[in-house]
Structures are given as structure tokens and as C-alpha cells.
A and B are shown apart, each in its own frame.
Chain A
């Protein structure tokens, strides 16, 4: 245990906390910016098992903030889950690392959650977060949600039966293109590091058997302004008011919601259709995408070719997009989340 001596000396954990931690099993969904920091911190802290699910490959533009990856991973075009597992095993060989190169969908989420004590949010889109929320509440597994854009981030620890859930805060999924993504508004490494570190602090409390320390609140930070707010969420959980944690209906988990994506055969393209209906402002979207590549717009659609990419995205006012240059559903959904956001 000499590896963990400093952590055991810390009053909040101690010997008992550390041995609970060593027995714990965690799922990290998404291993990009937040996921890298989460995975590295939990593996160094000595969890028993870390399962990582990610659908993406390592790209040069990831290296500015995704601390687990390096130029060698980019050269080899390694899937993030694999590159992460390689690195994490060198960091701490005591920890069982279980990489899954997979899109987390309503079909796969159940198996991925099987036997874990905690789920960490390392995703970059609301669709996956709403799915995780359903899966976590249904199975009674705590999960730690976070989001980060620019210098700004939000963290919320969700403990079924103890705190409000994500849908208590946001009953419906935000429509496509309604919020900036890291690919349109940018993001700085320190914001990611702090947000993910706050997630890990909550994780250490839960995994060391001190779930009662988790309070119903949303932490909102801005590292550029140097501000941190803790907004109370205790009033959100009215009796039975929430579809998910109140009425225990799980539409995202049962596939009633969630995007409908299909490979368009022979066209080297995929259509991604968001679950939420509603009109997208093509004008705003075109302006937002303009710095990131070549944009053509007309009243019916926006055609966008990201810089240094073989892909082209054609986005319609109903939020639907046809992504050419791939027949891989996971890659297409990942591009959708990056540039259009959902």
C-alpha cells in the first residue's frame, strides 16, 4: 500500500476508505478531455477496475487538452479507449483496465454498466448523458455529470434516491444546435482539468463509502473569471414530478428517444437525425461553424467541410444531418456532437 500512503494519510479517506476504493469498479463513458483526466486520476488513486467506453480515434486536435494521449497515438490512429488503456496500465498495473471501442447506445449501455459502482460522465453530448441518466437511475448506480466549454464548466453528482437526477434539472433534451460545443466555442485545458477534478473528488467520496457526503447541488465554475458557485438543487425533486427518477420511466434506455442514425448505403455517408424536433437556426449555425472550416449556406441547408477533414456535413433545418466520408455510425454521431451539438 506504500503507493497510496499519501492518500491514506488524508483524513477524509484513511485505511478504510482506501480499501473500499481498491475494491471499486467504475465505468467512464467517453475518454476525451474530461474522460482523460477522470481515468488518469482514478487509476492513480487505485480503483479496482476501470471500464472505458469511447467511440472515437485520437486526433491531433485532441492533444491540447486530452492529457492521456500523445503524438504517437495520433500517428497510429489508435482508438481512444485503446490508447488510454495502454497508458493507464503503465501508470498503475494494480488496476484492471477494460477498454471498449464502442458507441454507448441503448443496446450497449446495460452491459457496460454491469457490475459497476459508479459511472463517470466523460461524454460530449446530451444524448449520451440522457441515456446514462436513465441507465443509472434504473439500476440505482450513482453517476457524476459534467460539461465544459470555453473556460466554463458544470458538475453535478447524481445519487439515485438521494439527489435530483439530470432530468430533474433538464426535463427535456436541448434541441440540436442550441448550445455551443468545444469545436465551435473552443475550450482551454485548465477548465477541463478543474471540472474533471471536481468530478473525481465526488467519485472518491462515493467509492470510499461516503456517499452521504454528496449534496444535491450543481457546481458552476469559470476558471477565466475565477468564480465558483454552488447552486442548490434540493427543491427540484418534487414528489413524482420527474419522468425518470420520479415516475421511473426510461425512454432513452428503451430506445423510444435518442437519435435515429442510418448508414446511407453506397453513398459513403450516414444520416444522423436528432431525437428532438424543432427548427434549427441555419443562419446561426453557419456563423458558428464559419471559423472551423468551409461553410456554404442557403435557406434550406448548411454545407460544412471542417478544416483538414475528409468529411462533409450537410445540415437541414430540422436538425438532420448527412455526413459524407464515413459509413461508421459512431464516427458520424461523434462529428454531429462536435459541430452541431446535441
Chain B
């Protein structure tokens, strides 16, 4: 955990191949506020995580505090200052 005062967002290593996205602490009281503030600072990242209709892409899975978010459009889940968001991309190789 990076900060104990703001929610932290981590990205799977696989996303880092496409776009620079280190773990960040950002403010926000809901999951969407947190993600939107990440995208404001890192606009290229938005296209890797959301499709052109603003839905989470099929091969991307967002975890809030270790639990998967099922909804692809509505992420008004509350987050706490200690929350961890983890953005995962499915892997094809093997």
C-alpha cells in the first residue's frame, strides 16, 4: 500500500506494456470518482480501460478492495481512504 490517506489504484503489469501507469494515490469517494481522476491525469489510459461508450472493456476486470466489480457501466461503489483499486487485463499467452 502506497498511502494510508488516499485510495490507491494499481494496474496489472500487462497494461504497463501499452501505457505508462504506475500505482497512484488519488482522491475520490466513489470508484468512478477515483477512476475519473486517474484518467484526468493519464488520458491515454482511459482508452485501454473503457470502450468508446464508457464501459469497462471486456478483457479488463476492476477489483475494489480485492473484490471484483461486476458492473461494466455503473461503478458508484463507495471507496474509503484505505481502499485499493486493482485494474487487471486478461492474458492470452501461454
Contact = CB atoms under 8 A, between A and B. Distances in A.
- Whether both chains belong to one complex is answered with yes
Interface of A: 30, 32-35, 121-126, 146-154, 169-175, 178-182, 185, 187, 192, 218, 220, 222, 224-225, 229, 231-233, 235-236, 238, 241, 337, 341-342
B13 A150 contact: yes
B68 interface: yes
Given A149-B14, A222-B13, A236 B70 contact: yes
Interface string B20-64: 000000000000000000000000000000000000011101010
Given A172-B58, A231-B86, A179 B91 contact: yes
Nearest to A340: B92
B17 interface: yes
Nearest to A192: B94
Contacts of B63: 231
Contacts of A224: 13
Contacts of A154: 88, 90-91
Given A174-B59, A231-B63, A180 B90 contact: no
Contacts of A34: 94
Most buried by A among B61, B68, B86, B94: B94
A13 B67 CA distance: 31
Interface residues of B, number: 22
Given A150-B13, A236-B68, A174 B92 contact: yes
Contact of A179 (B14, B66, B70, B86): B14
Given A169-B61, A173-B58, A175-B58, A147 B91 contact: yes
Contacts, number: 106
19 contacts: A33-B94, A34-B94, A124-B93, A126-B92, A147-B94, A149-B17, A152-B13, A170-B90, A174-B57, A174-B59, A179-B90, A180-B92, A182-B94, A185-B14, A192-B94, A220-B88, A225-B13, A232-B67, A341-B92
Interface of B: 12-14, 17-18, 57-59, 61, 63, 66-68, 70, 86, 88-94
Given A124-B92, A220-B88, A178 B59 contact: yes
Contacts of B91: 147-149, 152-154, 179
Contacts of A146: 94
B61 A179 contact: no
B13 A151 contact: yes
Contacts of B90: 126, 147, 154, 170, 174, 179
B14 A180 contact: yes
B21 to A, nearest CB: 13
B58 A170 contact: yes
A42 B93 CA distance: 21
A152 B57 CA distance: 20
